[in-house]
Amino acid sequence: MMLLTAENKKNLPALYSNETKTAAETMVVLKFFTPDANWTWYVTEGSPVDADGYFDTDKPKVDWMFFGLVDGAEVELGYFSLSELQNIRGRLGLPVERDRYFDPISLEELRMRIDE
């Protein structure tokens, strides 16, 4: 399965575009998960980045950097890259998948659901 499609890229807010928004205003637009390891990555924004991890340079872009909520060993906001997700394998060796049926939700509502 392709983790990040052209359509996903087109609809993904750029890194730092949500800085001034509240959790109620910030939308989670993508969901990645491990089917066999109980980890989930919820993406609120992302941009292509160069080899140094910067998105705002003229250097060739070689990866994608995301920001969002990670629900794994802890629940926390943070950065993660497409290449990291592509290399992760769960306990049974299964790769990370994109939830093709995920409907965008506000970060605030997502946090409430996770905290239940």
**pLDDT computed for residue 2 by the predictor:** 92
Is 35 in contact with 90 (CB distance < 8 Å)?
yes
Q: What is the pLDDT of residue 48?
A: 97
pLDDT at 1: 76
Model pTM score: 0.94
Upper half-sphere CA count for residue 13 (Cβ side, 13 Å): 18
Neighbours of 103 (CB within 10 A): 8
CB-based contacts of 3, cutoff 8 Å, min separation 6: 32, 82, 85, 86, 96, 97, 98
pLDDT of residue 99: 97
pLDDT, mean of residues 86-103: 96
How far is it, in rounded angstroms, from Cα 88 to Cα 45?
A: 20
- Give residue-wise pLDDT tens across range 33-88: 999 999 999 999 999 999 999 999 999 999 999 999 999 999 999 999 999 999 99
- Using a pLDDT cut of 90, give the percent of the chain over it: 97
